Chains A and B, each alone.
Chain A
Amino acid sequence: MSLIEIKGLTKEYADSTPLKDVDLTVNEGEVISIIGPSGTGKSTLMRCINRLETPTSGTIIVDGTDVTAAGADLSAVRKKMGMVFQQFNLFSHKMAIENIMMPQMSLLGKTPKEAYTEALEQLRRVGLESKARKYPDELSGGQKQRVAIARALAMHPKIMLFDEPTSALDPTMVSEVLSVIRELAGTGLTMLIVTHEMRLARDVSSRVLYIDNGGICEQGTPEQIFGHPKEELTRRFVFRIHSWEYTLSAENADVYEMMGQLDDFCMHRFMGEKTATNCRLAVEELTVSCLLPKLKKLGKGSAALRLNAGEDGGEIVLEADYPELMDGGDPFDNSDNVLSLMILGKVAERQKTDTKGTVRFVIRQK
């Protein structure tokens, strides 16, 4: 049974369109992680679902109520959806336990005693029973976020929305919040989690959405998204691939500039000295011995170089595209540069070459 049904959701601002024609169905019991680069509409999607933002167009039906309809009882719908914010947003004038009691009394009509019992129970659940009578400014970031989760849970929502719950936390406090969320994910509660914590997304989700360019770019099980992403954008994001690119042409063949930019890239990617040297040698031999002479000979055309490096010591790939230089034979099939090809072979492994003018090397890192 679907709890949330989103059709054609678009949100436009004066200067940007974070969401373009998004469709999404969330079924009961699903735990959905939403990942993607910053500023691509993940938070906007969440805020549209409980109508903190008003969509430009489209419909959102939550548990049978169209929240985009004029005159919808938002208060009633929101009571069914707990929301956890990046900035916690605990009511700063109330103690932790009062933060949890207040909405129960104001919105559910519970007596103070009933609310207190419930609040204490929820605090116990997030492991903060002992901090019940602390004010928010006396709690650490992680503790505040756990109280905020308890506050939402005390309303017994059908859906929990987490909007980057750990982004504002010190690295040391992230895990205490993550373990609470992990615990929750196991209870069968329907959850939507916008997060940058890939491990959380991989471990707890039943479905992962990759959002980019204003829409759902790819979705699937964690194994699909993190193991075998289909889309290039997803792959780059998931493997955290960064690229260095340079284009050589007959008019502009500034090798010094090119090598300078490459050095910067290697430094910023924290490559080891050996790896960086290999990258340099590979690029240098490829251009100086193969591509530049051909460029000079033809007096026209261009060649594109790209170095892709993933984080966490993944493979580093050097690619070159030079279809315009195929005139009169592949520049690699040239007996003048045997020495260069030898060096190139030492620092990188040539993977595949086709006859259309591309070449691909995997840089050796040891």
Chain B
Amino acid sequence: MKNRPIGYRKALSRIAAAFMLVCFVLTALPMFAAAAEPEFKTFSELSGKTIAAITGSPFEDLIREHIPDVKEVQFYPSSPDMTLALLDGKIDAYFMNNAVGELIANKNEGIEVFPQSLGDSDFGIAFAKNSPERAKWQAAYETIPQDTRQALWKKWTGADDSIKTLPPQDWEGANGTIKAAVCDTLEPMSYVGKDGELIGFDEEMILLIAKQLDVKVEFTGMEFGAMMPEVQSGKALIAAGSIVVTDEREEVVDFLRYAPASYILLVRSAGGTGNSEGFFAGLSASFKRTFITDGRWKLLLSGLGVTLITAVCSGALGTLIGFGLVNLRRKNNIIGNKFIEGYGGLFAGLPVVVVLMVLYYVIFAAANIPAMIVAIIGFALIFGSRSYNVIQNALSAVDSGQREAALALGYTEGKAFREVVLPQAANVYLPLLRAQFIMLLKETSIAGYITVVDLTRAGDLIRSRTMEAFFPLVVVALLYFILTKVMSKLLGLIDKSRDKQRRERRIKGVD
């Protein structure tokens, strides 16, 4: 047999296979835990340990009050992230309310509820400070009988998932529609159900009140930390999703207290080493949980779609902006040049995520524009500045003699630019724009910060339900990998067709 070097494709498939294997092994790791006692039972045992809480929660002082010499208090964006960190040993306990915490402990092998409570409070629905609506909602809430409230609590904290659906909004809605910002990763209070709709105790409680007020409710899911800004900026009337009332929070919003809450800690099980499921059984269970249960593949698929649409639209729009700026630069007037300088400087100096958040929470705060459109606008503005730089550099790489030769033949400046200079610059800027676009595609993963459910966010949502982090993360990683490869190939076709045209030496309109 001839000793041939391994081809590009072969090498790629080997790398992919190795990647998958590593992922599967990692995925299976959390399965090696069994039900047992909690690892820590008293506050003093938690001395010198690392404890986590969800981003946007004001409980650091409370934690330090009970465990004075805690090593560090860390903040994570969602409960599945903390679950993962706990199982990995990155943290030793994490702070949660009783409703969510108990469910996590029940669903997750290897995680137990710490036996001592850190205090009591209430769950609350947040309104903007001094909102006149709060009193109306409070009054409507009072009319709901105690029995109904308790039945609701039982329904959502119970084990029977089949009855956990929301009633239809079948009332008139004579008093309009209100917006509710809800967290989408805190089962059972507020989370994403089958087919991606937002459900939970909080949602149903809100609907009960809304029915009394005869208003319809539009829920928008987001990370916990994003809810308060939504209410404060006026994008949403109310925020809910396992929010526990604290003094600190009451300083910035007003609450409608609708259920009692207590603070607990989640810790690892003590010394659990038994493997209850086995490697492949665990794998198939993970697969089922991530894809099949509740039709979650649909969520991933729609996330993939959102990522693709966001990237393609903002890429196309951004390229247009880039060309627009190039055109403006050619006019070479003082105002235009200053504008370009300011525009480029602004976006070169800001992190992408900050641009998105400023657009969403400040500039478009009042406007009723879907978050995805804001994301597309944000990414397009950033891509515009980048594509301008790429095209401008490519243009300056074209020999000035080309323009002069065209002018000398009688071309106008505009024609010389379009027909002679720009086509030659294309050889330089097309591959660069392609690389920039692939970068943009990956960067859209931060769109979740402004409530867009893209591929990354879809993975987060699934993790919040399956209470395991590895498998969904690996799937998301793989999907991004495939997406970027496919897009790169597709865009590469442009180069290929240009090459082919060049090779064929056909003359348009003659051959």
User: Which A positions have Cβ atoms within 8 angstroms of B?
Assistant: 50, 52, 74-76, 78-79, 81-83, 85, 87, 89-93, 95, 97-98, 101-103, 106-107, 111-113, 116, 133, 135, 148, 151-152, 155
Contact = CB atoms under 8 A, between A and B. Distances in A.
Tell me which of A85, A93, A97, A111 has the highest count of chain B C-beta atoms within 10 A of its own C-beta: A93
Nearest to A52: B404
A81 B423 contact: no
Contacts of B420: 91
A106 B507 contact: no
Contact of B509 (A78, A79, A112): A112
A87 B401 contact: yes
B412 interface: yes
Given A112-B507, A112-B508, A93 B424 contact: yes
Interface string B476-507: 00000000000000000000000000100101
Contacts of B424: 91-93
B332 to A, nearest CB: 15
Given A98-B507, A106-B419, A112-B507, A91 B410 contact: no
Nearest to A163: B408
Contacts of B419: 102, 106
Given A87-B401, A98-B507, A155-B410, 5 more contacts: A75-B411, A91-B424, A93-B427, A95-B507, A103-B411
Interface in B396-434: 399, 401-402, 404-412, 415, 419-420, 423-424, 427
Contacts of A91: 402, 405-406, 420, 424
Contacts of B350: none
B505 A95 contact: yes
A97 B507 CA distance: 9
Given A52-B404, A89-B402, A79 B427 contact: no
Contacts of A112: 507-510
Q: Give the size range of B's interface with the partner.
A: 20 to 34
B396 to A, nearest CB: 16
Interface of B: 399, 401-402, 404-412, 415, 419-420, 423-424, 427, 502, 505, 507-510
Contacts of B402: 89, 91-92
Nearest to B418: A106
Nearest to A107: B410
9 contacts: A50-B408, A52-B408, A79-B410, A112-B508, A113-B509, A116-B510, A133-B505, A151-B409, A155-B409
Nearest to B405: A89
B410 A111 contact: no
A76 B507 contact: no
B211 to A, nearest CB: 68
B510 to A, nearest CB: 5
Interface centre among B401, B411, B419, B507 (most CB of A within 10 A): B507
Contact of A78 (B410, B427, B507): B410
A116 B506 CA distance: 12
A113 B510 contact: yes
Nearest to B505: A133
Contacts of B408: 50, 52, 78, 81-83, 85
Q: Which of B411, B412, B510 has the most CB of A within 10 A?
A: B510
B261 to A, nearest CB: 69
A103 B419 CA distance: 10
B468 to A, nearest CB: 55
A85 B423 contact: no
The 6 A-B residue pairs with the shortest CB-CB distance in the complex, in nearest-first order:
A112-B509, A89-B405, A79-B410, A83-B408, A89-B401, A78-B410
A148 to B, nearest CB: 8
A282 to B, nearest CB: 50
Contacts of A85: 401, 404-405, 408
Given A91-B420, A93-B427, A135-B502, A107 B404 contact: no
A193 to B, nearest CB: 15
